[in-house]
A and B are shown apart, each in its own frame.
Chain A
Amino acid sequence: MDTSTIFKNSMNNGKIILRFLLIFITIFISCFAFGCTGGVEPRNIAITNSALYDLDGNGNYHVLLEIIDLTNSGDGRSDEQSNYKRNSIIKRGDGATLAQAITSISDQIDKTLFGTHNRVRIITDRMAKNKQAMQEFVDFMIRNDEFDERPWLFIINHEDIEKLFTVFVGLESLIGEYIDGVVKTRKLNSGCGVFVETLKYIIDSMEIGQDAVAGRISIIQSDDEDQNGRKFEISFDGLSAFKDNKFMNYLTADDALAYNILNNYLKRSRLNLRNSDLKATAELTNVNTKILVKENNGSMRIDINISGKLRIAELEIFNETNISSKKLKVEIENTFEEMVKTMIEKTLFKARDEINSDIIGFGRRMRMLNPAVYDLLFANTDYLSLMVFNSINIDLSIANLGDLDISRY
């Protein structure tokens, strides 16, 4: 082999090495760049599972983070064998701002705080009542990419903070996981609670002609203690109404159901009815709400049409025995329609007159259809007093009377 051939070969080898080197660098960069842990080893991160935000009378923020304890995991045995359950630690941080409070927690622990797996954010009512604090909260969420916008957002009475971390958590061992699990199940089966992600709260708080809502958490005394001696449990019924980013008041479970019906969020919910003639439980499904908002002589005329299906789960008739199935069907439908109408009217009037908040977003609906009229007549006024509920039509039809033969009735 002559010198020139050796030189050419070595040049080719050099090119191959360079090519491999470049490919290696690209793969290496891709590998260390695309981690969800920001380049920190998983064993060195402190994963937050739930977060509680509070503001005291002196304007100081208090943040409580439930951090998953990963130190007793990975012993090589299966969860069943080791009877392993994830534990958590609760760390508290105080500061003049939310960032400062979280930094003070970060200073206390020997690992990097990691918020992207957080499941729940809970804000105390005394913080939520402070408009500036809520604006700071929204601002903080938008600016910090590490705090993602998916966790559920709830408001809690500030007196219940101490009890929150001692409540019954079902088959879970973490509050965040427990609430996340309950929300996912209840969203499909019950309309008595409102479950809002932080993102929806942020979007609604910025929206013109719409006030934001958040979920409601209340701690209630349990009838009996569980094996760990836990006496309290969480109730998710109701919702928290806001106006201009300021918490106004809690609404009840019925109001939450009405809210879900009006916004087409309801998947399925059970309605109970009991009067002198009958006792019935029906499953309300396929709800379709149409809201028409029009300007009428300087006021906002609102027409609501709701349709849905009822599936009878339980039925007991007290008086009439010879009633025909058709008549019975109509009577049950009418009774349930009346019940839903009363519930919706009550919620609408309560939101307008007592809470003074447009949680359904009638203003937004008006602006969507006719922005020029909205800007001219309602943008610079408190349009709630100009809202007129012209008609509320409910049309519920019974899909079936249950598995029993209806000729029995």
Chain B
Amino acid sequence: MFSYVTMPIIKISSGTNIIILIFLSLAYLVILDAPLIYFANKNRNRSFLETTENICAIIKVALFLYLITLAYSIFVFNSIVIQFMKASITPGIPEWGITLAVLIAAFANSYKGVGVLARVSVIFVLILLFSILLFALFSIPDLDISRLLPVYEKSNFMELNKCAILIATISTEATILVFFGGCINEKLSIKRTYITSITIYLICLIIIVLPTIMILGNKYAPMLLNPYYTFARQIKLYDSLERFHILSILAGFPCIIMRIGTKSLIGKEIIDTIFKKKTRNGIVILVFILVIMISMNMFKNFKIVLLNLNFYANIMLIGHILLIIICFGIWIAKKKSCNDKRYGTGGS
């Protein structure tokens, strides 16, 4: 979802070596997600709270730190949406108004829990995928393939890999499977679900990023707040269909709201785990969203740093590593507990 709005692959790479970065970042994405998918697969049919029965204080601290990175990612998500909406669509509406609109809608979506959110997302994500396909098809007459060339420009090997890792950490969605893997239909395999989602992600990335570069060029696109919106604005379809770029917002906006809702639900799961108690959806999510709103005002002066895409990607990388550590910690705790039970040392 983040790839759709801000196109980190264009911005972090400054528009160079795009084709290489698409595949390299995908490779890193699979590598980074592998431990999480393994963990999710091993804990099928159990909620995250049930998997974390015997965790130590260090894991709780790690969970708390992960919660902070999660809150920060919601803050960035929300801020970027607001920044774009305010600059391009609704310049007359105050920032708090849009924030409230986004967060109320996110709260309304996540209030009913992950099941409802998943069912609603089936509708909105399909609309989004359809709009992406539509824009890609309609842009064909205007595409200039030469703008993708040269495929490989002189670049530092380490720098290229660093870019790919940062793009992968921003794009990863495997976290959902870690926390809500237990909610997936028993007949479905986690691995297969992940492979399907990765394939859809790759196809979407190709038909979002490449046409954008082919129309806007690799120098101009990284400068834009929302390159995909500007790309959609250029589609004319032989002068017969103009100004339907708003479809990209209509399709994307509900998905962004749902993504914020999902992140809030993950936050709720973590709070439940830390306090070892199942709390009410509404209260925790509301508190979580309020914290974000307060933090928005508190960190107003640091916004330029906080909204820097590279900074965000680095924080997300830390968050991802923390989650891998948490999963590893839970796995060790579980193994230890099993050994204790087997050798009868649990009570001694």
A36 touches B233 (CB 8 A): no
Q: Output the nearest chain A residue to B152 by Cβ-Cβ distance.
A: A371
Q: Which of A343-378 contact B (CB under 8 A)?
A: 364-365, 367-372, 375
Which residues of B sit under 8 angstroms from A145, Cβ to Cβ? 87-88, 225
Is B154 at the interface (CB under 8 A from chain A)?
Answer: yes
B154 touches A149 (CB 8 A): no
* Bound: A154/B93 CA distance, A: 34
B124 CB to closest chain A CB, in angstroms? 12
User: What secondary structure prevails in chain A residues at the interface with B?
Assistant: helix
Is A386 at the interface (CB under 8 A from chain B)?
Answer: no
Segment from A21-29, A227-235, A296-304 that makes contact with B: A21-29
Segment from A61-69, A200-208, A243-251, A319-327 that makes contact with B: A200-208
Is A146 at the interface (CB under 8 A from chain B)?
Answer: yes
A294 CB to closest chain B CB, in angstroms? 15
A40 touches B217 (CB 8 A): no
Q: Which of B123-164 contact A (CB under 8 A)?
A: 146, 149-150, 152-154
Q: Output the nearest chain B residue to A361 by Cβ-Cβ distance.
A: B146
A38 touches B105 (CB 8 A): no
* Bound: A369/B219 CA distance, A: 18
Which residues of B sit under 8 angstroms from A369, Cβ to Cβ? 149-150
Q: Output the nearest chain B residue to A26 by Cβ-Cβ distance.
A: B105
Which residues of A sit under 8 angstroms from B189, Cβ to Cβ? none
A33 touches B217 (CB 8 A): no
- Indicate with 1 or 0, residue by residue over B64-92, a CB within 8 angstroms of chain A CB atoms: 00000000000000000000010111111
Is B98 at the interface (CB under 8 A from chain A)?
Answer: yes
Which residues of B sit under 8 angstroms from A206, Cβ to Cβ? 217, 219-220
Is B239 at the interface (CB under 8 A from chain A)?
Answer: yes
Which residues of B sit under 8 angstroms from A148, Cβ to Cβ? 233
* Bound: A36/B85 CA distance, A: 11
Which residues of B sit under 8 angstroms from A30, Cβ to Cβ? 253
A39 touches B92 (CB 8 A): yes
A99 CB to closest chain B CB, in angstroms? 15
* Bound: A171/B87 CA distance, A: 36
Which residue in B217, B224, B243, B253 is a CB contact (below 8 Å) of A207?
A: B217
B91 touches A26 (CB 8 A): no
A203 touches B216 (CB 8 A): yes
- Indicate with 1 or 0, residue by residue over B203-239, a CB within 8 angstroms of chain A CB atoms: 0000000000000110110011100001001100001
* Bound: A54/B26 CA distance, A: 49
Is B332 at the interface (CB under 8 A from chain A)?
Answer: no
> Which bucket holds chain A's interface residue count?
35 or more
B146 CB to closest chain A CB, in angstroms? 6
* Bound: A259/B74 CA distance, A: 50
* Bound: A206/B216 CA distance, A: 11
Is A318 at the interface (CB under 8 A from chain B)?
Answer: no
B99 CB to closest chain A CB, in angstroms? 11
* Bound: A243/B281 CA distance, A: 62
Given contacts A36-B243, A38-B92, contact A29 B101 (CB under 8 A): yes
* Bound: A36/B233 CA distance, A: 12
B92 touches A202 (CB 8 A): no
Is A142 at the interface (CB under 8 A from chain B)?
Answer: yes
* Bound: A40/B37 CA distance, A: 49
* Bound: A23/B219 CA distance, A: 42
Which residues of B sit under 8 angstroms from A33, Cβ to Cβ? 85, 89-90, 93, 98, 101, 253
Which residues of B sit under 8 angstroms from A199, Cβ to Cβ? 216, 220, 234
Q: Which of A177-222 contact B (CB under 8 A)?
A: 184, 199, 202-203, 206-207
B230 touches A38 (CB 8 A): no
Is A7 at the interface (CB under 8 A from chain B)?
Answer: no
B92 CB to closest chain A CB, in angstroms? 4
A146 touches B217 (CB 8 A): no
* Bound: A52/B302 CA distance, A: 39
* Bound: A375/B150 CA distance, A: 12
B324 CB to closest chain A CB, in angstroms? 36
A150 touches B150 (CB 8 A): no
B150 touches A368 (CB 8 A): yes
B220 touches A202 (CB 8 A): yes
Which residues of B sit under 8 angstroms from A26, Cβ to Cβ? 101, 104-105, 108
Which residues of B sit under 8 angstroms from A36, Cβ to Cβ? 243, 246
Which residues of B sit under 8 angstroms from A22, Cβ to Cβ? 104-105, 107-108, 111
Interface residues of B (CB under 8 A from A): 85, 87-93, 98, 101, 104-105, 107-108, 111, 146, 149-150, 152-154, 216-217, 219-220, 223-225, 230, 233-234, 239, 243, 246, 249-250, 253
A-B residue pairs in contact (CB < 8 Å), sample of 12: A22-B105, A25-B101, A26-B101, A33-B89, A36-B243, A38-B89, A38-B92, A150-B233, A206-B220, A368-B146, A368-B149, A370-B150
Question: Which 5 A-B pairs give the minimum distances between C-beta atoms?
Answer: A29-B101, A368-B149, A22-B108, A39-B92, A206-B219
Given contacts A38-B91, A149-B230, A203-B220, 9 further A-B contacts (CB under 8 A): A22-B104, A34-B89, A35-B89, A35-B90, A146-B91, A199-B220, A206-B219, A369-B150, A371-B154
